[in-house]
Structure 1
Amino acid sequence: AKYPGYFIIVPLLVAMCLATGIQRMIYVDDPEYLFSPVNGRSHDERRVVEALFPQNTSYNFDIGRQTKPEKFGRLIVVTKNGKNLLSRKVWDEIIMLDQIIKNMTVLWDDDIWTYEQICARNGRPCYPNDMLDFYPYIDQIENGTFKLEYPLRIDRTRQKVYFTGALMGGIETDSDGFIKSAEAMAMFYYLDTSSRKANLRSQAWEYAFLDLMESLELEHVKLAWFTSRSLAEELEKNTTTVTPFFSITVVIMLAFTVTTCLMADAVRSKPWLGILGCVSAAVSVIAGFGLVIYLGLEFIGINMAAPFLMLGIGMDDTFVLLAAWRRTNPRKSVVDRMGETYREAAVSITITSLTNFISFCIGAITPFPSVKIFCIYTAVAVLFTYIYQITFFGGCMALSGYAERRNLHGLLCFPTMPKSQASGRSWLFKTLCTGGVNPNDPDNPVDNREHAMMTFFRDTWGGILSIFPVKIFVILVFLVYLAIGLWGCTQVKEGLERYKLAMDTSYARDFFNTDDKYFRRYPLRIHVVMNKTMEYWKPDVYDKLEEIMQTFENSSFVQNNELTECWFREYRKQTQDGPFKGYFAQFDLSDPHDYIQGLRFMLRFAPFSTFEKDIKFNENYTSIVASRCIIQATNISDANLEKDMVLDLRRIADSYPDHHITVFHTLFVFFDQFILVRETSIQSIGVAAAVMMVIALIFIPSVSCALWVAFSICSIEIGVIGYMTLWNVNLDSISMINLIMCIGFSVDYSAHISYAYLSSDGLTANDKMKSALHSLGMPIFQGSVSTILGIAILAFAPSYIFLTFFKTVFLVILFGALHGILLLPVLLSLSDSFCKKNKKAIVTHPFFVPPHPSANCKTPPVIITTDNYNSLSVVAKDVKRKLSGELNQEDAWNSGRDMPPNDSSKNLLTNLTNYSTFQERGEQVNPAFLPDEDEEKDVVPGRIAPPYWPAKVQPEERCLHRRHSSNDVKATPLRLSKQYSVPS
């Protein structure tokens, strides 16, 4: 307040310096890195498989034996109008399409490249699209004279196996298992990534492939396509598409804050502070992001949700500070008013900022890089938002206070006429151009009207909630809300399906939908690796291996041994009944040397040469140190089944610890997220909730209030999880960010209202509730609406990521606000009343003590409140005699004679200082007390008088005829609660 310029200029200069860090941004968009847990088991499984069976795309590529995502272009051809794909017209277009793709040229490194030059190879030729081998027979296939088996065709003429189940979709088969019709075909164009140059060259081909697919329009088929870069590009598009929404959000926020900061009093209106609150939030985000980027942390697209959140958080603090400022005395100096504002609001905004900061810090220790990076950026942004609110915005509020003290217009800053002096002016002039306080009559009611919304929450809203049946109704509605939320929690689905990373209008979303429709029956070829040197030539070893493989094949997620590729099973079959049976007869296959020699002979010939990729020999080929089989997953239709499949296969592998079995697929890296997200979410939410409860206990010195805050945290979290599930949001790394954030947000409004309730000087529980709503009802309304407006624009973003942010934050803020202004006031007042139900009050506060007669009525009276009453010597005697009244269930006094029926402070003191009131009760100043004879000794001139006078002091000597002013009362040495005043 004394030096506001420093607190405005210095933070702005710091923000300008830190903002330069944005130019050093390291943008990361690799979905596998961002959305897979760093401690996922699949990372170890991949290292095992790659160490034992490395794959080089330049000569030994196999699509079923991939260990990491490669560069590729994948195409799904679907017939229009659901027609049969097995026709000449359709296949002519498919062959033409294949030639167009293969002939497509790419300019890279000053050379022209085609697919044939940069393709992934299995031997010399490019890895083929097997189904095109049947093009010469398409007429026979169409008329039914040539039939294709499903799901596997073994062509002994070509010595080749065709996995029709994975290459054809929308299949209809006849009674013999032959394909009658099909609707879709999958085509693959894998690229060489064996070197850095090859990888960059293949990436250039992918971009050309995408451009080509966008430009093609065929007569009989429609296309769905995808590349290895598609998900990364979609993440980047998510960021670029949501950026323009930020400017719209700022405009909406500015309009709302300016509107809600206006008052009928043009001087006390604070539209500029509303705007500067938005500026403070925006500047703090820029400064926080710049600092984190300077520290070297990567930047991700999801971070673009943080500015929307910070606008809401920053404006929440702004409204709390403004509400505290409005409750200060306008006649005091700006320094004193700022001190009172910070004394009242600092605890609330500190609690909320601290809880938000800690909740994001807890999120930063999760194993998901996307969650970790977002939470670090947002935690620092929350910290800077808090700092800038108490420095930059505080300085701006001080300047506004000086303008208010000079009676300047809140918007245009010109001297303004008080409303009490504008009685002859027009309605428009009085509405827009008057305000402030008349210096000649500062106490007149015309110039001292309270904010309409604040009085609404105290008198109307608080009055409604004070009605006991209304409280019961609120609790019943809450129980219904909680029951639905708990049921929703039982329906939670885990996992972030890959298609959700793509935008709604993207070609990638169309590809995933098409793939899910036609190719989910046989989706995954899974590695089963036995990383142990074993004596495969021994019958008991073979039997054990066969038992292991049958256990995998009997899994409900496999259930098909015909699609298993296992070299030792095929080797035995060939030695017993195969084209090389006679050759193998010369070997003693129980001998290690002969067994390996015969095996190496078989691997020279197709199709058995494929198994060479599945056997790891030692250096001198005298033993087999590791081997691999490939099993086929079937009917895996959604993320929950993918998670269950991985858990089941790992369970089987772990049940044979002596064989060191590893199961793996490249997508297991994503599936680990499905497995760990529930456990990680529970741990993070649990830790965050516990920390929030501890913070609430520290800052709110009341066990009951702190427990209600803790209850609100649990209730809001249950509601958000349950209702987001019913709103089609899965429990995944995106929603986990929001659930962790929910912990911090759920404390905000609960802490605000609980602290205000505890700080209230109200006589009864209902009075405290009304006082708390008067103090913070409007800031909670403003903060919640501003936060929802801040993220509302995300509801229109064509992205699951940002739509999930909107849904979860909307639920958090909605439930948090309703708990703050509806449920929690009811619970606090009921629990307070319940505690007092069977407890007799010690004293009826406040009460009035007139001066001792020896002072000749020159000393002003004393107001006894709870604080100073406890210091009087008569407390113990009052308690012993049980002199005070008793509260009933409605917080009213049982005895109408012992306490005036109107419990408002002004009327109470008016009655107590009225002569006729005391005449009615005889000698007693405070009608709640009936002294005994031994109380005469308590009257000693020169000390504080007891709360009554002994009988021997006559009424006419008690100075009751004198009416003291409020200034006299405030001048007393005892503290006077601001809730009480005496009419002059």
Structure 2
Amino acid sequence: MKCTWAPLEKPWSNVVARYCVFVSRHPWPFIIIPMILCICLSSGVFMHFRIVRGVHYLYSPLNAPWKTEEAVFGENWANDDIHYHPAKDFMRRRGVYMIITAKDKGSILRKEHARQFLKVLEYIGSHNLTSKTGRKYSYKDICLHFQNECFSNSHGRLIADIFARGDEDHFNITYPKWASRYATEKIDVMRLLGNVSFNSNGYVNGASAWMILYQLKKFDENVGELSKEFENAIAAEIENGTLSAPLLNIYYFHSATFDQELAKEQDRIIPKFSITFCVLIVFSVLTTFTVKWVNLPGVKVNQKRRKFLVIDWVLSKPLLGIVGVISTLMAIISATGMLLLCGVTFVDMCTVMPFLSLTIGIDDTFLMLAAWHETNRLHSVEERVETAMRHAAVSISITTLTDCIAFLIGASAPLPAVMFFCYYSSAAIFFIFLYCMTVFVATLSLQGRIEEQERNSLTLRDTINLKEHFLEDVPTKKLLFHMGTHVHVLPEAGNNNDVNFVDVHNPKKEQDHRMWYQRFFEDKFGPFISKPWMTAIFFGLYIVYASFAIYGISNLVIGFDLINVVQKSTSPRAFLTARNSFFPMDSKIVDIAVMKPPNMAARKQREEFFFALQEFETTWCSSGRNSTDFWYFSFQDYMKGLGFDDDIWNAMLDDEESFVSNLGGFLMANDKYSYDVLRDENGTTKAFRLATRVTNVATDSDMYKCATTMRHAINTVTFEI
């Protein structure tokens, strides 16, 4: 029994060859129709082109649990501009966040530094701006209100004023929280000051950074637009130095920073695409020239004629190089337009697709052109196209198929950025193949007829045979721009690149008509690389390469750090770096929503909930009960502060009416927790939330593992967390 390898190759090559012969006989329809198709599909680009951004959307799995969880918090606790607390929902609301450090890297609580910080607060709070529509506004017009006042970082202003006056020894500021008689709630110093130092009594006497925020309205359309402009205006003033302080560094981050950074990256990429396109045009044209050595008339060195390189305008195909790049560009436009017409989202990562597509298109172009140069010039154009495409088209078909399959498999990834990039790349590769088999083959056949007529492939004018012996009578201009190799029909003639091709003027002299790169690789590089000692060297280099590859894979870190979205040497990048350095715990808070809450006045349900809470607090990444910020614990402290002992507290817990009544009073007296508990009109709790801190989560991968652990810890409870 005989085993047949690649059984589809020969049938497919026959089909492709016959098709290409048909194209060579009727080239113009295969040029015009694809151009019309490209123009029609390009309408999708003009009508529907819009880049969808959003770091959390693009680089998170479509079915990521956190998206549902985040929606719960957004829809229940951050769904308007009325209910607001400065310590809650930091990143769920629109706002500008700032970290301020001393330029000399010293304490920002020194007198003069504190005074300049107060000036920064005053400037932002009272600075008047003009909107795009000409409306005058300030922060007070768009700020969120807390306790019926515009939130203006009064807690930071209070502490800064104390140090600016030199009164820190009289106020004894504690850490992480400070109970001031000038504030209704304890001030969370840990979120306000970073890298805090203490005096001998354990009170705050220095810090390396302030972190302040200006949270803005967004649910009213007109005011929301002003909030966007405020973010950008403050960022611009920090960048250009208008908002500055001689002794302070000011770093900012706002709600649209990630999206704006992605947009800036796109603005940096688009000019590079234009440059890449031009470079590839030049490269494609230059590498399609065939050059020959000739003796120019009247040029002698030491009584010997000196040889010069002259372009063979018959064999050169500069137009095909241009057509190869243009057909690839047509494929990119067609693929993008078609998918946009089909409603496929275009994301930032898709802007990389043209660079990938251009390289694939140029590769296919030169593969087909090289196959053409391998054919026998004595054959007709149809025969040469058939011979060339039997080899080249099969190779292109295989690479196109494998590339498309690879990208379609990649499109199964749950990340939208990767998924949509793969869709657009796969479509572009398909159109590259389509236009190669139509536009390029048709243009190749037209150029083949010009070559058959021994005319200049660019100007279509007649050429002078490079083998003529009477070049002395030819003007230099014609020698440079109208020379070409003519072929004569001889019985022993081989193909265009036959090493033993016979010179018509000297039949006894063997001529080498291979392309220059063929001679280099066949005569120089091939024998050199095949030497035994070279084989040993490259085998050793491969072992080294494989070792580095294995080492790299073993140290592969899975995860995505959002800080890498922001360009280096920018204020937002400095903000994120400073936040990780000075406020590491600020990003390590886990919010917990209980949507089908237990009745905390019912012992059994209460015990079941505390069992679930204990599961949270005892995971490998939890900071424990002391880090849990829960209204229930504060409610207990509140009742004890009113003089109720443990017996009265325990009795109230089992009396639902008393529990609900006293809870209402507690929530009215504590703004921080009043919004944590969502109640019906009859006072029944329909949902509540709490927060806890995590530890041992230095990377995003660690945070993912921690979140997974916590989700598994609550699978057994009956209420929804």
Q: TM-score, with normalisation over the residues of structure 2? A: 0.84
- Measured in 2, the distance between the counterparts of 1:159 and 1:559 equals 27
Equivalent position of 1:657 in the other structure: 717
Aligned-pair RMSD on alpha carbons?
Answer: 3.0
Provide the C-alpha distance between the structure 2 equivalents of 1:104 and 1:556, rounded to a whole number of angstroms. Answer: 47
The equivalent of 1:416 in structure 2 is 463
CA change 1:636–1:114 in 2 (3 A) is farther
* Change in CA separation of 1:372 and 1:93 when aligned onto 2, cut-off 3 Å: same
The answer as to 2:626 corresponding to 1:599 is: no
The 1:488–1:348 alpha-carbon spacing in structure 2 relative to 1, beyond 3 Å, is same
Per mean C-alpha deviation after superposition, the further-off stretch among 331-340 and 229-238 is 229-238
Q: Are 1:242 and 2:247 an aligned pair? A: no
Relative distance call for 1:374 and 1:562 in structure 2 (3 A) is: same
> Which stretch shows the higher mean deviation, 292-301 or 349-358?
292-301
The residue matched to 1:495 in structure 2 has which SS?
coil
Match of 2:449 in 1: 402
Q: Secondary structure at the match of 1:599?
A: helix
Give the match for residue 218 of structure 1.
Answer: 245
Q: State the distance in 1 between where 2:593 and 2:87 align.
A: 14
The answer as to 2:234 corresponding to 1:209 is: yes
Please state if 1:33 is matched with 2:61. Answer: no
8 A Cα contact 1:149 1:179, kept in partner: yes
CA distance in 2, matches of 1:90, 1:627: 41
In the alignment, the residues of structure 1 paired with residue 119 and residue 63 of structure 2 have an alpha-carbon distance, to the nearest angstrom, of 46
1:187 and 2:209 are equivalent in the alignment: no
1:99 corresponding residue in structure 2: 122
Q: Kindly tell me: are residues 128 and 659 of structure 1, through their superposed partners in 2, closer, same or farther at Cα, counting changes over 3 Å?
A: farther
How far apart are the structure 1 equivalents of 2:368 and 2:260?
A: 43
Deviation at 1:412, TM superposition (A): 4.1
Change (3 A) 1:153 1:83: same
Shift of 1:6: 2.1
Give the equivalent residue in structure 1 for 2:644.
Answer: 581
Counterpart in 2 of 1:308? 355
For residue 4 of structure 1, give the secondary structure of its aligned residue in structure 2: coil
Task: Please point out which of 521, 536, 542 is paired with 1:457.
Answer: 521
Secondary structure, counterpart of 1:508 in structure 2: helix
Alpha-carbon displacement from aligned partner over 1:200-245 (angstroms, at most 9, x marks no partner):
2322322322233232232111111121122211211111222112
Count residues with an aligned counterpart: 655
Secondary structure of residue in 2 paired with 1:189: strand
1:615 maps to 2:677: yes
Identity of aligned residues (%): 23
What does residue 17 of structure 2 align with? none
Alpha-carbon distance in 2 for matches of 1:98, 1:594: 45
Q: Identify the residue that residue 433 of structure 2 maps to in structure 1.
A: 386
The structure-2 alpha-carbon separation of the partners of 1:47 and 1:254, relative to structure 1 and needing over 3 Å to count, comes to closer
Counterpart Cα distance in 2 of 1:118 and 1:468: 77
**CA displacement at 1:599 relative to structure 2:** 1.7
Tell me, in whole angstroms, the C-alpha distance in 1 between the residues paired with 2:248 and 2:654: 56
Relative distance call for 1:175 and 1:538 in structure 2 (3 A) is farther
3-state SS of 1:485 partner: helix
Q: Residue 535 of structure 1: CA displacement? A: 3.7
Q: Does 1:510 align with 2:568?
A: no
Q: Does 1:643 align with 2:704?
A: yes
Find the partner of 1:501 among 565, 572, 575: 565
State yes or no: 1:355 paired with 2:355.
no
SS in 2 for 1:604: helix
Counterparts of 1:639 and 1:153, CA distance in 2: 31
Question: How much has 1:518 moved relative to structure 2?
Answer: 2.0
- Are 1:141 and 1:147, in contact at CA under 8 Å, matched by a contact in 2? no
Matches within 5 A, 1:439-588: 439=488, 441=490, 443-444=501-502, 449-467=513-531, 470-539=534-603, 541-559=605-623, 561-575=625-639, 577-581=640-644, 585=648, 588=652
TM superposition shift of 1:83: 2.0
Asked whether the equivalents of residues 597 and 720 of structure 2 are also in contact (C-alpha less than 8 Å), the reply is: no
The worse-fitting range, judged by mean Cα deviation, of 196-205 and 322-331 is: 196-205
1:74 paired with 2:109, answer no
Q: In 1, distance between residues paired with 2:480 and 2:619?
A: 77
Gaps of 5+ in 2: 1-23, 293-311, 494-500, 504-509
The C-alpha deviation readout for 1:264-309, integer Å capped at 9, x for no partner, is 2512122221122111111221222222222233333332222221
Q: Aligned to 2:641, what secondary structure does the other structure show?
A: coil
Distance 1:332 1:100, change over 3 A: same
Matches within 5 A, 1:329-340: 329-340=376-387
Are the aligned partners of 2:218 and 2:227 in contact in 1 as well (CA < 8 Å)?
yes
One-letter amino acid of the counterpart of residue 665, structure 2: F
CA distance in 1, matches of 2:714, 2:576: 30
Amino acid of the residue matched to residue 182 of structure 1? A
For 1:125, the equivalent position in structure 2 comes to: 149
Q: Which digits, 9 at most, give the CA deviation of each residue in 1:252-275, with x for residues without a partner?
A: 222322232222251212222112
Q: Larger strand proportion, structure 1 or 2? A: 2
Structure 1 letter corresponding to 2:104: N
In the alignment, what sits opposite 1:317? 364
| Per-residue deviation, 1:322 | 0.8
Please report how far the alpha carbon of residue 75 of structure 1 lies from its aligned counterpart in structure 2 after TM superposition: 1.3
With over 3 angstroms needed to count, the CA separation of the structure-2 counterparts of 1:283 and 1:589, relative to structure 1, is closer
Checking the alignment, whether the CA contact within 8 Å between 2:78 and 2:92 is kept in structure 1 is: no
Answer yes or no: is the 8 Å Cα contact 1:38–1:367 preserved in 2: yes
Q: Is the 8 A contact 1:166 1:523 kept in 2?
A: no
The equivalent residue for 1:950 is none
Where 1:523 maps in the other structure, the secondary structure is coil
Distance 1:496 1:175, change over 3 A: farther
Secondary structure of the equivalent of 1:603? Answer: helix
Q: Deviations over 1:452-504 (max 9, x none)?
A: 32233334433345445544544443233222212211211223322222233
Cα 1:252–1:387 shift into 2, 3 Å? same
1:148 deviates by 2.3
In 2, Cα distance between the equivalents of 1:583 and 1:480?
Answer: 71
Mapped partners of 2:598, 2:380: distance in 1 = 89
Is 1:87–1:142's contact at 8 Å kept on the other side of the alignment? no
Give the corresponding residue for 2:301.
none
Q: 1:612 is aligned with what amino acid?
A: S
1:78–1:223 Cα contact (<8 Å) kept: yes
Aligned equivalent of 1:715: none
Distance 1:180 1:642 in 2: 33
CA apart distance, 1:542: 4.3
Q: Is the 8 A contact 1:88 1:142 kept in 2?
A: no
- Cα shift at 1:145: 4.6
Alpha carbons 1:116, 1:126 under 8 Å: kept: yes
Q: Residues 647-680 of structure 1: CA distance to partner in whole angstroms, max 9, x if unpaired?
A: 33333334x433433xxxxxxxxxxxxxxxxxxx
SS of equivalent to 1:347: helix
Aligned residue type for 2:707: V
**Displacement, 1:340?**
1.1
Given that 2:378 and 2:489 are in contact with CA atoms closer than 8 Å, whether structure 1 keeps it comes out as no
**If you compute each CA radius of gyration, which structure gives the higher value, 1 or 2?**
1
Are residues 300 and 532 of structure 1, via their aligned partners in 2, closer, same or farther at CA, if it must alter by over 3 Å?
Answer: closer
* Aligned-partner SS, 1:42: helix
Instruction: Judge conservation of contact 2:115–2:161 (CA < 8 Å) in 1.
Output: no
Deviations 1:939-984 (A, max 9, x none): xxxxxxxxxxxxxxxxxxxxxxxxxxxxxxxxxxxxxxxxxxxxxx
Post-superposition offset of 1:38: 1.5
Alpha-carbon distance between aligned partners in 2 of 1:444 and 1:564, rounded to the nearest angstrom: 92
**Distance in 2 (alpha carbons) for counterparts of 1:555 and 1:64:** 25
Q: What's the TM-score once normalised by structure 1's chain length?
A: 0.62
What secondary structure does 2:463 align onto?
A: coil
Shift in Å, 1:314: 0.4
Give the letter for the 1:603 counterpart. Answer: L
Distance 1:68 1:519 in 2: 15
In structure 1, C-alpha distance between the alignment counterparts of 2:269 and 2:597, rounded to whole Å = 55
Task: For residue 315 of structure 1, report the CA deviation from its aligned partner.
Answer: 0.4
